[in-house]
Amino acid sequence: MIELNNIEKYHPAKGIKHYVLRHVSASIASGEFVSVMGPSGAGKSTLLNILGMLEEPTYGTYHFMGEDITSMNERKRIELYRNHIGFVFQAYHLIDEMTVQENIEAPLIYKKIVASERKSRVADLLDRFNMVAKKDLFPSQLSGGQQQLVGIARALVAEPSLILADEPTGNLQSAQAAEIMSLFRKLNREEGITIVQVTHSEKNAQYGNRILTIEDGVVRTDTPVAGQL
Partner 1 sequence: MFKLNIRIALRSLLRNKPAALINITGLTIGLTACLMLLLYVTYERNFDRHDARTTRVYGVMTNVPDGKGGITATFDGTTTALAPMLRQSLPALEAVCRLSYGSIRLIASGEHAFKKEARFAEPEIFQMYGYRFLSGDSTTALADPHSVVLTASMAKTLFGRLDVTGSRLRYQDQYDLKVTAVIEDLPLNSSNRFDYLMPWLFYETVDPSAKELNWTNYSFITLLKLKPGIAPETVNKSLVTLLKSSGSDSEQPHFIFPLQRLHLYGKFEQGRSVGGDIEQVRLFTALALGILLLACINFMNLATARAGRRAREVGVKKTLGADRRSLVFQFLTESMVLCLISVALAVALAELLIPAFNSLLRVQLNVGYFNGTTWLALLAIVLFTGILAGSYPAFYLSSFNVIGSLKRNAPLRRFLPFSMRQVLVVVQFCFAVSLIVATLVIYKQISYIKNRPLGVEVQALVEMPLEGNLKTRFELFKKRLLASGAVSAMYQSSVKLAHHSSNFTDIRWPGMQAAVNRVMFNKVGTGYDFIKTNGIKMLAGRDFSPALPTDSGGVLLSARAAKIMGLKDPLGKVIQVMGERRTVIGVFADYVWDEPAKTNNPMVVQMEPLRGGSMTMRLNTAHSLEDNIAAISKIAREMNPAYPVELSFMNQVYAGKLESERLLGLLSRIFGGLAILISCLGLYGLVSFSAEQRTREFGVRRVLGATLLNIMQLLSAAFLKLIAVALVIAVPLSCALMNTWLQGFEFHTSVSFWTIAVATLLTLALALVTIGLQAVQAARANPVDALKYE
Ligand X SMILES: Nc1ncnc2c1ncn2[C@@H]1O[C@H](COP(=O)(O)OP(=O)(O)OP(=O)(O)O)[C@@H](O)[C@H]1O
Pick what 154 binds: Mg ion, partner 1, ligand X, none; C-beta below 5 to 8 Å, kind-dependent. Answer: partner 1
3-class secondary structure, 33: strand
Contact between 45 and Mg ion by CB under 5 A: the answer reads yes
Task: Give min distance, CB of 118 to partner 1, in A.
Answer: 10
CA torsion angle 152 190 28 151 (round to 10): 0
Q: Which residues of the chain form contacts with partner 1 (CB under 8 A)?
A: 49, 52, 54-55, 74-75, 78, 81-83, 85, 87, 89, 93-98, 102, 106-107, 109-111, 154, 158
- Closest approach, Cβ 95 to partner 1, in A, equals 6
- Could you tell me the smallest distance in angstroms from the CB atom of residue 37 to partner 1? 21
Work out whether 49 is an interface residue with Mg ion (CB under 5 A): no
Nearer to ligand X, 45 or 169 (CB): 45
Residue 206 · residue 199 · CB < 8 Å? no
Rule CB under 5 A: which of 139-178 touch Mg ion? Answer: none
Query: In sequence order, what are the residues at sequence separation of 6 or more whose Cβ sits closer than 8 angstroms to the Cβ of residue 58?
Result: 8, 9, 10
Per DSSP (E only), the strands in 38-154 are 59-64, 67-68, 85-88
* CB-based contact 133:97 (threshold 8 Å): no
86: nearest Cα among 106, 62, 112:
106
User: Within 13 A of 12's CA, how many CA atoms are on the CB side?
Assistant: 2
Is there binding between residue 199 and Mg ion (CB under 5 A)? no
Q: Which residues make up the interface to ligand X (CB under 6 A)?
A: 11, 13, 18, 20, 38, 40-46
Q: Which residues make up the interface to Mg ion (CB under 5 A)?
A: 45
